[in-house]
C-alpha cells in the first residue's frame, strides 16, 4: 500500500520549480548577465530565479506555473536570449505584497 503522504510529496516535487543558486556554480556568470530591458539585474542575492517546466505562450506573453500558482509573464519581462544553459525555462520574480511578480523570463533553449 502506498503511503499517501509520500505520494503527495513526490507529486509536489515533480511540479515544483527548481531553485537555482546564481552566486556560484556552473551557471553563475550566465545568471549575473541577465538584465531586463531597463538594464536592471533580473536576479538578487535571495536566489529568486527558478527553473520552470510548464509554460504556455499567450497573446500577452506567457503563463507559467510557479509554486503551484499561475503567473502571467508580460512580453516586457521576456528576455530574447538563445544561450540558456539550464535546459529549462527560467523565471526571476519579485515579491510584491507576498505575491510573485515576473521580473524576467527566459525560455528554454531550443535545438
The pLDDT value recorded for residue 105 is 95
Residue 87 lies in a domain: yes
Residue 95 lies in a domain: yes
Residue 22 lies in a domain: yes
Range of the domain at 36: 4-106
Domains in the chain, number: 1
Residue 70 lies in a domain: yes
State the pTM of this model: 0.73
The pLDDT value recorded for residue 7 is 32
pLDDT digits (tens, 9 = 90+) for 50-109: 888 889 999 999 999 988 889 999 999 999 988 999 889 999 998 889 888 899 999 998
Residue 111 lies in a domain: no
In 1-98, beta strands by DSSP E: 18-19, 49-52, 55-58, 61-66, 69-74, 89-96
**pLDDT top residue among 45 and 39:** 39
C-beta neighbour count of 85 within 10 angstroms: 11
**pLDDT top residue among 105 and 9:** 105
Amino acid at each position: 500500500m502506498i503511503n499517501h503522504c509520500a505520494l503527495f510529496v513526490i507529486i509536489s516535487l515533480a511540479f515544483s520549480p527548481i531553485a537555482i543558486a546564481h552566486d556560484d556554480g556552473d551557471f553563475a556568470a550566465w545568471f549575473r548577465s541577465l538584465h531586463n530591458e531597463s538594464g536592471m539585474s533580473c536576479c538578487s542575492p535571495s536566489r529568486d530565479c527558478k527553473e520552470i517546466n510548464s509554460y504556455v505562450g499567450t497573446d500577452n506573453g506567457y503563463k507559467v506555473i510557479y509554486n503551484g500558482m499561475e503567473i502571467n509573464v508580460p512580453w516586457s519581462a521576456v528576455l530574447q536570449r538563445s544561450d540558456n544553459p539550464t535546459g529549462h525555462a527560467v523565471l526571476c520574480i519579485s515579491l510584491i505584497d507576498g505575491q510573485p511578480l515576473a521580473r524576467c523570463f527566459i525560455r528554454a533553449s531550443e535545438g
